[in-house]
Amino acid sequence: MKRQTRCFSTRILGLAGKNSYHWQSLNGTQFQNPADQETGHPLQNPKYVAPGWDDVYRMLIDLAKEIKNSGYSPEVIVGVSRGGWPPARVMSDLLENPNLANMKVEFYKNIGVTARRPKITQPVTSEVVRKRVLVVDDVADSGHSLRVAERHLQEKGAQEIRVCTLYLKPKSIFKPDYYARTTSKWVIFPWERLEAINLIKKNLRSKGKTANVIRELKGTGLGAPLIRPLLALTDDN
């Protein structure tokens, strides 16, 4: 079984014109969405990008349109744990396909630090033999995890496999069939904010005070009104 290698989405979504929108912080201050990473906005953080919930949803709507326009009609949607679960659930809704499964591939140890090899720690939870499968993940970073996921589904007998991600990293060895944006930055998704903030704090070591974490994330849209209550949830803060 050969994998389709066409890429149907090569543009950056949500940057200008009708897709240019503003966000409101918890203290009521409005600012242009810094996740529009290619605009050169002065608030842009050089290391991180943190799309908001609505921003992610807009990307998924555009990706759903791309998938439908390509003529691909998946019979099963598979979310890759853990980052692929939230977008996979939304994609299930947008494609009006309730056949949602999951699988778990473990790879990362820290921000930008990976284990030697990704491995399947939870096989796909649905039957995929002779079925068209859409794999959904949040980001194609190194690409190794997605390659392992694809091979696993091939071994399970999938008829055709296409892959959809919100972000693609230029360094990735695996290019998804559908993706919304390209970035070299570390992406902090809404469903992993506390985890990311804790890792950033840990990496700052002796400088890992709340004020320094806030300063590190300046320009991402994650400001003090959100960072402080998140860190307050941790036992060691």
DSSP 216-227: HTTTTT--HHHH
Axis-axis angle for helices 224-232, 193-203 (nearest 10): 90
- Name the β-bridge partners of 56: none
Whether 41 contacts 16, CB under 8 Å? no
What mean pLDDT comes out for the span 171-198? 96
Reply yes or no on whether the pLDDT at 191 is more than 60. Answer: yes
pLDDT digits (tens, 9 = 90+) for 52-79: 999 999 999 999 999 999 999 999 999 9
Phi, psi of 224 (to 5 degrees): -55, -40
pLDDT for 113 equals 60
Q: Could you say which architecture CATH assigns to the domain 53-187?
A: 3-Layer(aba) Sandwich (3.40)
Characterize 174-195 residue by residue with b for buried, 16 or more Cβ atoms within 10 angstroms of its Cβ, and e for exposed: bbbbbbbbbbebbbbbeebbee
Statement: the pTM of the whole predicted model exceeds 0.95: no
DSSP 18: G
- SS3 (DSSP) at 203: helix
